[in-house]
Structure 1
Amino acid sequence: MKLVISEYLRTLKERDELDRLLPDLLLEMGYVPVARPQTGNRQYGVDIAARGKNAETGSDELLLLVVKQGDIGRSEWDSGNQSVRQSINEIFDVSSKSNLEPQDKERSIRIVVATGGDMKQTVQENWKGFVNNNQAKACIEFWGADVIATLIEKYLLDEHVFLDEDRRDLRRALALSGDSEYDRQDLHRLFLRALDLNDNGELLDKPKTGKALLKALRIVNLSAQTFAHWTLRDDGDTRQGLVAVEHALLWSWHRIQFADEKNKKDALDGPFSAMWWGYYRFAKQYFARIQPYCFVENSLTRFASNGVESSLVTFEQIGILASIALYLALHPAPTEEEKISWLSNAGVVIDTLEALLKNNGVSSSPCLDRHSQDITLALFALFGMGRLEIAKEWLRKLFRNVDYAYKAKKYVPIATDSLDDLIEEGGWLGGQATDRMMEMSWTLATIAGWSVILGMDDLYEVLAKNAKDAYPNVCIQLWHPEKDLYQYLYFQPAHFDSGATEAPIHLPPTAEEYRKQMNMIIESEFGKVFFDLHATKAGLVALDFIAHRHFSTPVSPVIWYSLVDKSTT
């Protein structure tokens, strides 16, 4: 396990990654952090400061951490204002003199250079000489990836949390991380055990509280991040890593909702915050890998053997890119400057989504009815980022292809999730789709609603006419969540256990009439559900969108219905 943790640590950056992990480690070691890392403030060499007793000497000490990224070589040791030597000298000149609080003046000072890498041989003699020359001023140590991994295993992942069966499950998961068909069941078992949840997402007897709960959340996060890191290897499947990180994030949020207010606050401020940033970190890496393929025609599906595979791959990526864009665009930002930065990053993802839609013709031919979730997320993201013309152009193509599919009974977005049904009865590989595959449709309702939102009344009215005349036996429907949605949304597909189905939907002949129906839904009890969700109240709206896509739960219509009459603003 030390090797696994050490490998993970080597991927962490200094800012917002390694320095978010170290304060938790120090707390478990018995230290009380007095200064946490802050962006923009001058720190005079100190990234993290903490008070506590030295476990070896028993003396009270002030622990000052200098956090760096990667290996320490000659340039990192003594080259510029951000070098290790310069940082320690600043501590001697400023932090250990004028910045000390009265209660710390009698404490011994220990300076630790902490990094997720190693110290290179080229600088080891310089380091030894520097430490010896300054031992009268402070005890100076180096914590590389292997030392930090040992401390993490000892203090954060003790035997009460990281059981032998957890280790076995994680090792099996790592071994299978490169298999695109792997269902991550070993990782899920580990998560459930750590979070005290049964297979239905219900809390077990005598669940963990306090520090034990925080440790359990950390082990879930570390396991997911380690698995995700493994998928970045040449033989790995990065999609598996992203899905694992999402799963850990969603199940952890689900578990935290069972805690009392104090435990909930501690969990959100500590381990869950690390998970939230962990998702950002890995989504960024995933995006960097997928982005180039979106700008080359049909590059995403170049290895697909048929139209079914092409459609499955393309719509999965549409949903993933949309949820990443929404995470960035809706990320809480305390200042206007940070808000602009997050929106700028979201714009880069939207540019990539736009390129994917233009360069892949199959992006207008969904093969599963549940792809309506991916369509809604993408249209919501395009709408929110002001790409209305792109959204309209894509919706026209979607309607053209889906309308043809139902008329010709070929290439239909089938009403089940079975790939066997898709191949045998969907009309995608020859022949026509069976009536069973066409008996219901979320996709048609999705196109109808978005055509009204985007002011495409002519498209809506053609759809309404064809639904009545050309494919009258298709039951157009939508799913509306009810008040118990939060019990299921973050753990499993929610529409099997919660909510109500609006079916059949008889589309009125004019867009104005349907617009009135949509507004009635917004004003009904269904309209209150989304805004009562805990994640929404906590300002983490993007978590709900991730949950909808991850578990293939239909996106609540009231969310996108709320955009009616806003296309001009």
Structure 2
Amino acid sequence: MKLIIAEYLRTLRERDELDRLLPDLLVEMGYKLVARPQTGNRQYGVDIAARGENDDGQEELLLLVVKRGDIGSSEWDTKPQSVRQSINEIFDVYLRSHLEPRDEELPKHIVLVTNGELKQTVLANWCGLVSEYEDKAKIEFWGIDTISSYVEEYLLDEHVFHDDDRHDLRRALALSGDSEYNRKDLHRIFRRALDLDEKGNLTEESKTGKNLLKAMRIVNLSAQIYANWSLLKDGDSRQGLLALERALLWSWHRIQLTDSNKDVVKGPFTSIWSSYTRYIPEYFSRLMPYYFTPNSLSRSPTYGGAETSLVAFEQIGFLASFAVFMALQPISPNQDSEREYWFQQLNSACDALVAFIDNNGICTSPCLDSHSQDITLALFALMLAGRIEFAQGWLKRLFRNIDYSYKSKNYVPIAIESLEDLPDEGGWLGDHASKRMMEMSWTLATIAGWCVILDLEDVYKALVEGATQDYPNTCIQLWHPEDDFYQHLYFRPAHFVSGVSQAPIELPPSIEEYKKQMMQILESDFAKAISGSPAVKSRLLGLDFIAFRHFSTPVPPATWYGILRQENDLDS
């Protein structure tokens, strides 16, 4: 386990990663934090300050100097904010002007912390520095081996990280490179730590207070170890992404079952949120070249089978949910630069989404009816980024191919999730799709709704004609949530245990009439059912969209129908 932890720690950056883990470690070691890492403020050598008892039981002031990687000659005294400069600043400035009165008389303990090692080339310099200041402070070095030991002892001790957890984590790491692995071993760790049974209910003896906070740190640390491991040696970054999402969603689900929401949100959950936010660029960097490469999924613009379609729409869902997640990030008041940064991230994700769709013709041929969810997420993201013209063009191409598939009974978006039936009965191998595969469709209802939002009257009329004349036996329907929706959304596919189907949907002849029906949904109990989102109340708006995609829960129609209300407000 120590080797696994060390490998994980080596991947952490100094800012926003290593310096976020260390405060949690110090708290578990019995220290009380005095100062946390701050970006943009001059810290005069000290990254983290804490107060607590040393090994002799005497209270001391602990000052951490955090660096990344090995400490050699260039890191010692040649770069800005080098080790020697930082420690000199502590004695010249910090200890003279930045101490609280109660800390002035306490023994000072300065620790250089790094997720690397102290190289032999600077060992003599280090010993000289320690000797120079030994009458003023105790100076220590914590390298990768020391931090790994402390993490294992204090964050993964036998009272929290049991033998079963260690076994499951080792197995999960061993299988992380398998794209078909379902991460069930990692999920068991999460459920045990969060006191959740397989249905998302609390177990009989559930943790509260500090024990719950510690449990959430274990979930975060386990997910981060797994995610970083999946990036090593050309691993499967998708596995790491899904692991962090599950940790994020299940932790939020657990928070909704406890009374100590505020304490949890401010601490470990914020760390999980930050871990996921930082991982998204890592995932992007792996796949970005493929998004902008023509025919990156197949050998030619016209080639593509069911497996290619599955990959294509999964990536569309990923890109879209990332875009929405970044567009809806919580932003502090009067932080225009922060708002501009997240808007740029939204546009970057949408640039990749547009390029990916344009470069791969299969992106207009969904093989599953449930891909309607990915289509909705993508159109919603494109609307947020103002890519209206592209959204209209893509929806036209989608309808052209889907309309053809229903008319010809080939390449139909099948209405069940059994992929074994897809080649034989879905018409993806040249044969006609079976009646069973065409008996219902969310996709057609999704296209109808977006035709209204994007003002595509000609496409809507063609859809009505096809539904009444060419495939009249296909039941067009949508799913709407009910009041217990948020009890399930963050733990599992919510539409299997909550909500009702609107079926069959009879598309009226004119687009204006269907628009009136959509507006009625916005005034109904279905819209009220989604108005109480705990994520929205906590300004974590993007979390719901991650949950929709992660668990393949359809985006509630009232969520995207709401664009109509905004358009009406603008018109008025």
TM-score (norm 1): 0.97
Distance 1:434 1:30 in 2: 65
* Partner residue in 1 for 2:375: 375
Q: What is the identity, as a one-letter code, of the residue corresponding to 1:317?
A: Q
SS in 1 for 2:241: helix
Change (3 A) 1:442 1:107: same
- The answer to whether the 8 A contact 2:298-2:304 is kept is no
Matched residues in 2 for 1:547 and 1:565: separation?
Answer: 24
Whether 1:313 aligns to 2:315 is: no
The residue correspondences of 1:58-97 to structure 2 (distance < 5 A) are 58-97=57-96
Identify which range, 116-125 or 213-222, moves more after superposition.
116-125
2-structure distance, mates of 1:145, 1:36: 21
Instruction: Deviation per CA, 1:152-195: give whole Å up to 9, x if none.
Output: 11112221110001101111111111111111111111111111
The aligned counterpart of 2:166 is 167
| Separation (CA, whole Å) in 1 of partners of 2:172 and 2:538 | 32
> Equivalent residue for 1:292?
289
Distance in 2 (alpha carbons) for counterparts of 1:305 and 1:169: 41
Which aligned pairs between 1:389-538 and structure 2 lie closer than 5 A? 389-538=389-538
Instruction: Find the aligned partners of 2:530 and 2:67 in 1 and give their Cα distance.
Output: 42
Residues 7-31 of structure 1: per-residue CA shift (max 9 Å, x gap): 1111111211111111111111111
Match of 1:39 in 2: 39
Which residue of 1 is the match for residue 324 of structure 2?
A: 326
Deviation of 1:507 (Å): 0.7
Conservation of the 8 A alpha-carbon contact between 2:51 and 2:62? yes
| Alignment partners' CA distance in 2, 1:121 and 1:302 | 53
Please state if 1:279 is matched with 2:252: no
Q: Per-residue deviation at 1:74? A: 1.8
| Structure 1 residues without counterparts, runs of 5 or longer | none
* TM-fit CA distance, 1:232: 1.0
Equivalent in the alignment of 1:550: 550
Shift of 1:226: 1.1
The 3-state SS of whatever aligns with 1:234 is: helix
Task: Return the alpha-carbon distance in structure 1 between the equivalents of residues 380 and 77 of structure 2.
Answer: 50
Deviations 1:234-270 (A, max 9, x none): 352111111111111111111111111xx32222111
SS at the partner of 2:420?
helix
Contact 2:304–2:362 (CA under 8 A) maintained in structure 1: no
Could you say which residue in structure 2 is the equivalent of 1:363? 363
Matching residue of 2:347: 347
Gaps of 5+ in 2: none
Give the Å deviation of 1:332. Answer: 0.6
Distance in 1, Cα, partners of 2:120 & 2:327: 44
User: After superposition, what is the alpha-carbon deviation per residue over 1:328-377, rounded to whole angstroms, capped at 9, x for unaligned?
Assistant: 11111111211111111221111111110110000000000011111111
Give the AA of the match of 1:418: S
Give the CA deviation at 1:126.
1.6
Q: Distance in 2 between matches of 1:545 and 1:51?
A: 41
Q: Which amino acid aligns with 2:121?
A: T
Q: CA RMSD in A?
A: 1.6
Shift of 1:125: 2.1
Separation in structure 2 between the aligned mates of residue 512 and residue 446 of structure 1, nearest angstrom:
16
Match of 1:57 in 2: 56
**CA deviation after TM superposition for structure 1 residue 228, in Å:** 1.3
Partner of 1:385: 385
| Aligned amino acid, residue 267 of structure 1 | V
Would the alpha carbon gap of residues 277 and 88 (structure 1) be closer, same or farther in structure 2, given more than 3 Å must change? same
Measure, in 2, the Cα distance between the counterparts of 1:520 and 1:123.
73
What amino acid maps onto 2:343 in structure 1?
L
- How far apart are the structure 2 equivalents of 1:82 and 1:333? 30
Distance 1:301 1:244 in 2: 28
Separation (CA, whole Å) in 1 of partners of 2:361 and 2:528: 38
The answer for the alignment partner of 1:103 in structure 2 is 102
Indicate the SS of the match to 2:404: helix
Offset at residue 301 of structure 1 (A): 4.2
Contact kept in structure 2, 1:68 and 1:114, CA below 8 Å: yes
2: CA distance, partners of 1:95 / 1:371: 57
Deviations 1:389-422 (A, max 9, x none): 1111111110110011101100000000111111
Give the TM-score normalised by structure 2: 0.96
Q: How many Å separate the matches in 1 of 2:133 and 2:143?
A: 20
